Amino acid sequence: MLKTRVVTAVVLLAVFVPVTLYAPAAGFGALIGLVVVLAAWEWARLLNLNGMTAVGYAAIAALAVLASTRLGPGMRAARPLFEAAAVFWLLTGPFVLARKPRLAHGAWRVFLFLAGIVVFTACWHALVVARAIGVSFVLSILIVVWLADIGAYFSGKAFGKHKLAPAISPGKTWEGAFGGWIAVIVVGVAALATHALAPTLFTTLGARLGWARAVLVLTLIVAFSIVGDLFESMLKRQAGVKDSSGLLPGHGGVLDRVDALLPALPLAMLFIG
């Protein structure tokens, strides 16, 4: 199992790192488009839309991304998508986690079928716009989510006692979440203090909002990265599966890898203006 995880991780890094660092915008956009379409296919399967129906949903997501490119490049054109996705996560995410409705049935399934198209399209635009700002910028957004996840894992292992959401994800603890937040804030403050020339999420937030409000925004982004993770965990629990798919051997599915990014990306892009 460990060997499989390592091999898959090496292959993914071998593809994503060169494309992120060196590929032209079209190449990067195409790769992110593939990720978004595969995640949409898994989203549909978690909503009990199987077979060709799930494939059709992925095709709709692909067409939505292509159609949305007609809005034009840049932050101004994509802002309505970021706002719609942010509203979904800010309102629907906490409500679902608190009330735990049956998401793959009735009106909820229809709602998530439609909302998913917006969420995945906004995700694509967020990464493409972030990459246009700079490689260091898009990497810094990813680092925020990765640090929150890694910090939460090790803090939870070392100090975890109080369950964060035992009915949804029994392994997550409040101590782990706090540890992940601390990791992000430490790195963020360090980045602000060094006055790095290359634009990052940390330096851009600091320049626009000041240190104190930048920390508050990072806190919000970390909090909703956890919401995204828990939201997908709830979808999987209700669907009776451990992973969103087996597309990434040893790592589960694509959605398992990007669930925390789905709310973090549009929120981050809105706050940098």
pLDDT digits (tens, 9 = 90+) for 138-180: 999 999 999 999 999 999 999 989 999 999 999 999 999 999 9
The whole-number pLDDT of residue 89 equals 97
pTM value is 0.93
CA terminus-to-terminus distance, the chain = 43
Residues 6+ apart with CB under 8 A from 249: 4, 5, 7, 8
Q: For residue range 51-66, what is the model confidence (pLDDT) as tens digits?
A: 899 999 999 999 999 9
- Secondary element (H or E) of residue 99: helix 93-99
Residue showing tokens 């919401």: 227
Total domain count, the chain: 1
Residue range of the domain that includes 199: 2-271
* Amino acid at residue number 167: A
Q: Supply φ then ψ for residue 182, to 5 degrees.
A: -60, -45
Strand, helix or coil at 173? strand
The token pair that represents 175 in the structure block: 């101590």
Burial 9-44 (b: 16+ CB within 10 A, else e): eeeeeeebeebbeeeeeeebbebbbebbbbbbbbbb
The token pair that represents 116 in the structure block: 């998913």
Distance CA 164, CA 248 (A): 27
* Amino acid at residue number 170: P
Residues 6+ apart with CB under 8 A from 17: none
The segments of the chain whose pLDDT lies below 70 read: 1-2, 72-73, 195-197
